[in-house]
Amino acid sequence: MTPSKDLKKHLRKEALARRDALDEFWRVEIALEMAETARDQIAVEPGQIVSGFWPMRSEVDVRPLMFALREKGARLCLPAILDKTTIVFRELVRGAPMVEMGFGTVGPHEEAEVLDPSMMLIPLAAFDARGHRIGYGAGYYDRAIARLADKGLTPRLIGIAFDCQEVAQVPDENHDVIIPEILTESGLRRFTPEL
């Protein structure tokens, strides 16, 4: 492993330990508060495609937030893992079958329509004040965002985390996608891109 990868692994482990230590009932309350923040501060056009994610382990439960965006007219989708390197975003339709996706998460059945989101709610393990993120190490989101860019699409990226997941600085790597906005219990934070 490179020094950068070692440091990322260490920062990920520490941030996830802090997140895991949060009271589970507090996390539920915060998820509801974050949904209210999203309803008030995140504009959605009717029919706009928004990707969320099914929470795993101690992640922020974004289901209330996704519901709030659906109430504003969003068309929702969730990531579906196709193989060890690829996710696509399948439409989340009320009452449609859900299937296990691995990693303790679920997603829409393979018959669901594959969509290209114009807004992505992105899970993360850690982030810094520049909008750099550490994911879970598999690179699914970095590759999915790159594929959208190859199609000429630039979705609005909003990381979802708790404040305790912030670290002093995430090591930079060329393939990393910078997240210009992060929603935590403190509100929606916007980061100025570095020049």
Tell me: is residue 138 an annotated ligand-binding position: yes
Give residue 1's pLDDT. Answer: 60
Please spell the DSSP secondary structure of 14-29, one letter per residue.
Answer: HHHHHHHTS-HHHHHH
**87 φ, ψ (degrees, to nearest 5):** -120, 150
Binned at pLDDT 50, 70 and 90, residue 194 comes out as low
Tell me: is residue 95 an annotated ligand-binding position: no
Count of C-beta atoms within a 10 Å radius of residue 178? 16
Tell me: is residue 16 an annotated ligand-binding position: no
Strand partners for 106 = 100
Region 67-87: mean pLDDT is 93
Give residue 15's pLDDT. Answer: 97
Model pTM score: 0.93
Tell me: is residue 10 an annotated ligand-binding position: yes
Residue type (1 letter), 133? R
pLDDT reading at 78 higher than 60: yes
Give residue 113's pLDDT. Answer: 95
Please choose, from the candidates 166, 96, 37, 111, the residue with its C-alpha nearest in 3D space to the C-alpha of residue 29: 37
Tell me: is residue 173 an annotated ligand-binding position: no
Mean pLDDT of all residues belonging to the chain = 92
Q: Where are the domains of the chain?
A: 3-114+126-170
Tell me: is residue 139 an annotated ligand-binding position: yes
Tell me: is residue 134 an annotated ligand-binding position: yes
Q: What would the pLDDT profile of 128-176 be if each residue is shown by its tens digit?
A: 999 999 998 788 998 999 999 999 999 999 999 999 999 999 998 777 7
pLDDT reading at 20 higher than 70: yes
pLDDT reading at 28 higher than 50: yes
Among 3-7, 59-63, 70-74, 115-119, the minimum mean pLDDT is found in 3-7
Binned at pLDDT 50, 70 and 90, residue 195 comes out as very low
Give residue 60's pLDDT. Answer: 96
End-to-end CA distance of the chain: 29
Give residue 89's pLDDT. Answer: 97
Tell me: is residue 13 an annotated ligand-binding position: no
* CATH no. of 3-114+126-170: 3.40.50.10420
Tell me: is residue 11 an annotated ligand-binding position: yes
